């Protein structure tokens, strides 16, 4: 059962418990051989746990009948990589030849206390989670992807972190357990793109096919690029770079600080918030759409889908997201909000009218000198998370139905600096935060008690005896 999060508390604090249990889940499921011959030895089933579990069960089933469990194996419960062996039997008899798959059920029957969020990743000694100047963040939550659980971070400036790790400009990936899942070491993937220092790659998002899209906010290299989920190969520019001027404006875009992608294949649509480019009389900073499909270097002009009502005044941390009702939520960096420049507002996805303004309705006025950047919505679609940036560290929890702040995750005591840049939720409901002043990725687990999560292998493997074929050369 997948965990769904419901927040009703008025205040939340982070604490370090004596024994930390998380919203635990398995990811990075693999088998040692996609054509498994049981006569030649056991099949290795590999997975990674994001945190310690109290129990892990691996259920093996036939592709033709996923509801019938043929064998249940007991797996390791320690965070990190685990390997389980299967002999190809149902416990006594060899299974018939055919296609098979498996699911992993990880449980935490201890859970958290009722009023605390807990940091579950090792930010002290695991240098793989340290980045000199992180800006973009995305996590793969689709179990049909081979990269399920992978966390992507963009680093925009080369340098030596306070912990002693040297990182550079590009995209890094870590596993759900914080491991160096692609073996990058300290060298990021760049896709052969000449990324400028400081502003690119700036923001990240994933599409339905598992590709990583990235926006460049610089004037000299403005645009959008796309990488495969494994970050290999050359990454194409998705929007035209033709006729770029000194402020970053090309034929159909300018410097882009935020992006989202919906659809797949020929139905792929790119959405952006653009610092420079305007459609008609609307101000820059509105949400624009590109019916990009499978094209690269897309050159057609965009369509205005959500006018920002002139509220956008700072594109540094201009973020946006669409909720389950199809409405757009836009956020921005503000030291103190005003009626003409709120932190957060909602644009109706049908009428294009602003239906919520965090200044006018006072929903965020209780947050002293609030300054928000990153924004995300939980899978249930009822809760927004807003990242504090500036002197208002922490994450505010915002109820969509009542448009009110229902809780707060304070982060100042962690030694976290004042730059919570971007946030995201993994498949199990853990909150990911990148902080550029602390140079860290933080993973926080919610106070939701006992929980379990089922991860299904993204494909199948074949069971059958492999018959050796003698070479004709032997008989010549």
pLDDT in tens, 44-68: 999 999 999 999 999 999 999 999 9
Q: Which of 146, 168, 144, 137 is nearest to 228 (CA)?
A: 146
Ranges of each domain in the chain = 13-113+455-463, 116-449
Over range 234-261, report the average pLDDT: 96
Q: Which residues pair with residue 455 across a beta bridge?
A: 104
Higher-pLDDT residue of 11 and 222 is 222
CB 314 within 8 A of CB 333: yes
- Which of the two residues, 164 and 284, has the higher pLDDT score? 164
Are 422 and 137 in contact by the 8 Å Cβ rule? The answer is yes
The pLDDT of residue 222 is above 90: yes
pLDDT: which is higher, 338 or 376 = 376
Count the alpha carbons within 13 Å of 450 in the hemisphere toward its beta carbon.
5
pLDDT for 85 equals 98
Percent of the chain with pLDDT over 90: 65
Choose the weakest-confidence range: 56-65, 100-109, 115-124, 326-335. Answer: 115-124
Count CB atoms within 10 A of the CB of residue 475.
Answer: 6
Helix, strand, or coil here: 40? helix
What kind and span of H or E run contains 55? strand 55-62
Residue 471 pLDDT exceeds 70: no
Q: What is the pLDDT of residue 5?
A: 29
**Which residue bears the tokens 């239906």?**
355
Which of the listed ranges 110-124, 195-209, 276-290 does the model predict with the highest average pLDDT?
195-209
Half-sphere exposure of 381 (CA within 13 A, CB side): 7
CA distance 99 to 120: 37
pLDDT at position 198 is: 86
Least confident among 175-179, 208-212, 280-284, 421-425:
280-284
Cβ-based neighbours of 232, under 8 Å, separated by 6 or more: 189
Q: What is the pLDDT of residue 218?
A: 93
**13-113+455-463 matches 116-449 in fold:** no
How many Å apart are CA 178 and CA 85, to the nearest integer?
24
Q: Is the dihedral of CA 426, 380, 411, 198 positive or negative?
A: positive
Lowest mean pLDDT among 187-201, 336-350, 381-395: 381-395
Query: Is the pLDDT confidence value at 271 over 70?
Result: yes
The predicted structure's pLDDT at residue 115: 62
Q: What is the pLDDT of residue 413?
A: 53
User: For residue range 114-127, what is the model confidence (pLDDT) as tens digits?
Assistant: 567 888 888 888 89
Residue whose structure tokens are 């020929």:
266
Using 50, 70 and 90 to split pLDDT, how confident is the model at 416? low
Please state which of the ranges 63-77, 280-294, 350-364, 439-453 shows the lowest mean pLDDT.
350-364
State the pLDDT at residue 352.
87
Q: What is the pLDDT of residue 6?
A: 31
Mean pLDDT for the stretch of residues 352-363: 81
Peptide bond into 271 cis (omega under 30): no
For residue 471, what are the contacts with CB-CB under 8 A and spacing of at least 6?
A: none
CATH for 13-113+455-463 (2.60.40.1120, 3.60.70.12, 3.20.20.70, 2.60.40.4070): 2.60.40.4070
Confidence of residue 13 (pLDDT cuts 50, 70, 90): very low
Least confident of 98-102, 312-316, 463-467: 312-316
Interatomic CA distance for residues 137 and 344, integer angstroms: 20
CATH architecture of 116-449: 6 Propeller (2.120)
Q: Tell me, what's the pLDDT at 12?
A: 35
Structure tokens at 422: 């971007």
* 80-92 average pLDDT score: 97
Q: Classify 449 in phi/psi space as left (phi over 0), alpha (psi -120 to 50) or beta.
A: left
Q: What distance in Å separates the CA atoms of residue 119 and residue 407, rounded to the nearest whole number?
A: 17
Indicate whether 16 pLDDT > 50: no
Residues 346-360 have a mean pLDDT of: 88
Ranked by mean pLDDT, which of 2-11, 151-160, 409-418, 447-456 comes out on top?
151-160
pLDDT at 105: 98
Residue 424: predicted pLDDT: 97
The DSSP call for residue 236 is P
Q: What is the average pLDDT score of the chain?
A: 87
CB-CB contact of 447 with 22 (8 Å): no
pLDDT greater than 50 at residue 7: no
* pLDDT at residue 148, as a whole number: 98
The confidence score (pLDDT) of residue 396 equals 85
Given a contact cutoff of 8 angstroms between Cβ atoms, the answer to whether 191 and 169 are in contact is: no
Q: Which range in 244-248, 358-362, 469-473 is most confidently predicted, on average pLDDT? A: 244-248
* CA-to-CA separations, 444 to 1, 234, 392, 426, 431, in angstroms, rounded: 20, 34, 18, 10, 5
């Amino acid at each position: 059962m997948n965990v769904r999060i419901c927040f009703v508390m008025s205040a939340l604090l982070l604490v370090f418990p004596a024994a930390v249990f998380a919203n635990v889940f398995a990811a990075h499921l693999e088998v040692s051989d996609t054509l498994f011959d049981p006569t030649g030895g056991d099949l290795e089933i590999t997975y990674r746990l994001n945190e310690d579990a109290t129990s892990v069960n691996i259920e093996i089933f036939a592709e033709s009948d996923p509801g019938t469990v043929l064998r249940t194996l007991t797996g390791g419960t320690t965070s990190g990589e685990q390997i389980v062996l299967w002999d190809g039997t149902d416990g006594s008899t060899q299974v018939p030849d055919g296609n098979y798959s498996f699911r992993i059920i990880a449980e935490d029957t201890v859970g958290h206390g009722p009023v605390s969020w807990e940091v579950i990743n090792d930010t002290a000694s695991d240098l793989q989670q340290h980045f000199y100047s992180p800006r973009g963040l995305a996590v793969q939550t689709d179990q049909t992807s081979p990269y399920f659980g992978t966390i992507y971070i963009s680093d925009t400036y080369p340098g030596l972190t306070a912990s002693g790790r040297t990182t550079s400009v590009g995209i890094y990936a870590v596993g759900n357990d914080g491991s160096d899942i692609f073996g990058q070491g300290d060298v990021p993937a760049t896709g052969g793109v000449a990324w400028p220092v400081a502003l690119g790659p700036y923001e990240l998002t994933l599409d339905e096919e598992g590709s990583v899209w990235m926006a460049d906010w610089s004037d000299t290299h403005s645009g959008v690029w796309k990488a495969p989920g494994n970050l290999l190969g050359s990454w194409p520019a998705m929007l035209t770079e033709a006729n770029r001027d000194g402020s970053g404006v090309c034929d159909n875009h300018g410097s882009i600080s935020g992006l989202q992608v919906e659809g797949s294949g020929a139905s792929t649509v790119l959405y952006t918030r653009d610092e420079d480019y305007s459609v008609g009389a609307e101000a820059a900073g509105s949400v624009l759409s590109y019916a990009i499909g499978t094209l690269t270097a897309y050159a057609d002009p965009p369509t205005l889908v959500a006018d920002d009502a002139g509220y956008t005044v700072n594109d540094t941390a201009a973020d946006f997201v669409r909720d389950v009702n199809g409405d757009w939520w836009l956020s921005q960096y503000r030291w103190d909000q005003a009626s003409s420049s709120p932190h957060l507002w909602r644009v109706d996805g049908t009428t294009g009218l602003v239906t919520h303004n965090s200044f006018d309705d006072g929903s965020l006025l209780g947050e002293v000198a609030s300054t928000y950047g990153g924004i995300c919505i939980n899978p249930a679609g009822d809760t927004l998370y807003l990242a504090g940036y500036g002197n208002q560290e922490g994450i505010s929890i915002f109820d969509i139905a009542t448009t009110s702040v229902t809780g707060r995750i304070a982060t100042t005591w962690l030694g976290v600096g004042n730059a919570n840049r971007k946030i995201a939720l993994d498949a199990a409901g853990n909150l990911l935060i990148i902080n550029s002043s602390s140079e860290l990725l933080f993973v926080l687990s919610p106070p939701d008690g006992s929980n379990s999560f089922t991860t299904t292998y993204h494909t199948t493997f074949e069971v059958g005896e492999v018959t050796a074929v003698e070479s004709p050369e032997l008989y010549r």
